[in-house]
Amino acid sequence: MASEAITYATMTWQEQLPVLQVLVPFVAAPLLVTIGHKGLAWPLTMLASAISLIVSALLLAQVIDGSVISYRLGGWAPPLGIEYRVDAANAFVLFLVSAIATLVLAYARASVAAEIPREKHTLFYTAFLLCLTGLLGVTITGDAFNVFVFLEISSLSTYVLIAEGAHRDKRALTAAYDYLIMGTIGATFFVIGIGFLYMATGTLNIADLAERLSTQTDSRTVRAGFAFVVVGIGLKVAIYPLHLWLPRAYTFAPSVVSVFLAATATKVAIYVLLRFMFTVFKPAFLFELQTLEFIILPFAVIAMFAASFIAIFQSDFKRLLAYSSIAQIGYMLLGIAFLSSTGLTATIVHLFNHGITKAALFMAVGAYALRAGGSFMDNIAGAGRTMPWTSAAVVIAGLSLIGVPGTAGFISKWVLVQAALEKGWWPVAILIVASSLLAVIYVWKVIEALYLAKPLEGGATREAPLSMVIPTWIAALASIWFGFSTGVTLEAAEAAANGLMNGVR
Amino acid sequence: MEDFTIAFSLGHMPYWLFIILMMTGLYIVVAKGNLVKKIVGLNLFQTAVFMLYISIGKVQGGTAPIFPTDMKIDPEVVYSNPLPHVLILTAIVVGVATTSLGLALIVRIRESYDTIEEDRILKIEHDIAAAENRIHGQSMGGRA
């Protein structure tokens, strides 16, 4: 425990990057309310989010070689003080979250103007920034209790954002309420788990926890802590039997919020799960091994099939995507359950690839909601002709969702199948391919409605505004780009996976 | 299970109370249909966790963790661990925020649905969904 004083005057701005990552959106949020000018709300939010994107890119560039940045908040040395710790795994997630946030905001202006009354705009963007702060904070912090605090910041603002959907459909209110109850139970379980770990080790710093736990023998306290943490985060991740809040929340939230949540919130929760399973608890911890093999693995496979199957029968495109998300989370959990560095690489790559793919799809849903008045199959019928650009983006992202070669979705499923074969679990590999066939059915159902069905009266008559089409296309093209140029994503994911597996921290 | 002697059980009284309170809260959240009662249950559940943390901080024979003003610390004196208490201050704030947001949502739900009973809300939503399916199902030729 070093106690040398840090002179802040001599710290360069590069050294302050980790705290800026969280601080910029966090300070911008109350600033919006105090300024109170509706015209300034969007530009300021955009600016804050763009700055955090630049910061995260700089951080990623610094740690991609496997090094670790440790930042002492307020100059208090860890393990007593709160530490921000950036390594390849969380720099990657930070970059994903801030990139999606910036993209979503570029898209948000037209969509929010149409879906949310003007007097609520300032508060809407404030909640959005707080949610971003929470997600970035959860990812960057190296302190277990701090994870809980940031998790609650992001969750509370998420409930508000979902409830904003009530201007279109009052069911958003009950969806937000249900999520509040389940999310709070999840977060409280998480904090109980942290309490048990603190009882066993007397520390809250994640790196320190890992070190002290590795010297301990298996005890009932540690096991209880592990169980509470996994179930608590599992609620946030929407692991199969704990997913009930997700379809309703995604369906009734405003389009912008659905895009943002689907692409980031569950991904950040998966990252926390990874952090606890691989950094805090070592995979050698027998209890964890059994949890992964006998609980997480079967549930992941059930999620892949059951959720895809339910998605096939949805008549609402948005709800279909929500169920598809649960199935995709199944793939990510499967990668974790393999407990190999190939499996982890698959999880992290899929986390990124699915993030951009789902962002493109949910953005298209927002465009249909704006121009066709809804996203039911009959609303979007024939939109392939009236909204050619948006619909073409849906086709591209849909192919990536299935995992057609040449798209980002293929890369992650390929690595996942490789990981399954590496383990010799070939039935699981077959199941991965079989469940992708279910995705073919539901994606085809949408494409059929877009291009082959007769348009109804009152459907879309013109293309969505450019400010919505361009971000949708950026996300759609990214899902092709990362299907061919796998260098960046795979490399970063491998660095992250190796870091997690070997416990470099 | 020879660990569970009477001395052990009595010595861990706060933990027993924690479990009882936590389960009471969780039961209310699950079993009650009234939205306000669910929030009350959630509050009990969270309060139970505060109890758990505060009992962790207790050190046997420890006194309040306040150093004398002259900072002449007697190494013989045992202090209780103040850290869990500080953590719980944060958790209490989070709990208050959750409760207020939950109650605000209930007010809005009452305005829109005219009820805060879960079964009646479910029925209203079921009717909305059925109507939606009728409209969108027919236009898709009954395939949706």
More confident of the two residues A291 and B89: B89
- Statement: residue B133 has pLDDT above 90: no
Asked if residue A79 has a cis previous peptide bond (ω within 30° of 0), the answer is yes
Which helix or strand (DSSP H or E) is residue A83 part of? strand A83-86
Q: Which residues of A touch B112 (CB under 8 A)?
A: 166, 170, 173
Distance from CA of A228 to the nearest CA of B (A): 12
Q: What is the Cα–Cα distance from A87 to A84, expressed in whole angstroms?
A: 10
Q: Which residue of A has its CA nearest to B134?
A: A315
Distance CA(A141)–CA(A130), nearest Å, equals 16
* Tokens of residue B121, six digits: 């809300």
Residues of B in contact with A160 (CB under 8 A): 101
- Chain A interface includes B84 (CB < 8 A): yes
Q: Supply the ipTM of this predicted assembly.
A: 0.91
- The DSSP code for A263 is I
The reply to whether residue A174 touches residue B26, judged by beta carbons under 8 angstroms, is no
- A219 touching B (Cβ < 8 Å): no
User: Which residues of A are less than 8 Å from B4 in CB distance?
Assistant: none
A81 to chain B, any CB pair closer than 8 A? The answer is no
**Full 3-state SS string of A272-319:** HHHHHHHHHCCCCCHHHHHHHHHHHHHHHHHHHHHHHHHHHCCCEHHH
B41–chain A nearest CA distance, Å: 10
Please return the burial class of B54, using the count of CB atoms within 10 Å of its CB with bins 0-12, 13-18 and 19+: middle
pTM, two decimal places: 0.92
B83 neighbourhood in chain A, CB within 8 Å: 204
Contact call for B133 and A315, based on CB within 8 A? yes
Per-residue pLDDT 10s for chain A (505 aa) are 344 455 555 677 778 888 899 999 999 999 999 998 888 899 999 999 999 999 999 998 888 877 888 888 888 888 888 899 998 888 989 999 999 999 999 999 999 988 999 888 999 999 999 999 999 999 999 999 999 999 999 999 999 999 999 988 899 999 999 999 999 999 999 999 999 999 988 889 988 888 888 887 778 888 899 999 999 999 999 998 888 999 999 999 999 999 999 999 999 999 999 999 888 887 767 677 777 888 889 999 999 999 999 999 888 999 999 999 999 999 999 998 888 889 999 999 999 999 999 999 999 999 999 988 888 888 888 888 888 999 999 999 999 999 998 899 999 999 999 999 998 888 999 999 999 999 999 999 999 989 988 877 767 778 889 999 999 999 999 999 988 887 778 888 888 888 787 754 3
Structural domains of chain B in order of their starting residue, each with its CATH number: 8-58+79-118 (1.10.287.3510)
For chain A, how are helix, strand and coil distributed in percent, rounded to 5? 80, 5, 20
Q: Closest chain B residue to A180 measured between Cα atoms?
A: B102
Give A269→chain B minimum CA distance, Å.
19
Q: Which residues in chain B are closer than 8 Å to A161, comparing Cβ atoms?
A: none
How far apart are alpha carbons B11 and B2 in whole angstroms? Answer: 15
Write out chain B residues lying below 8 Å of A192, CB-based. Answer: 49, 52
| B140 close contact with A: CB closer than 8 A | yes
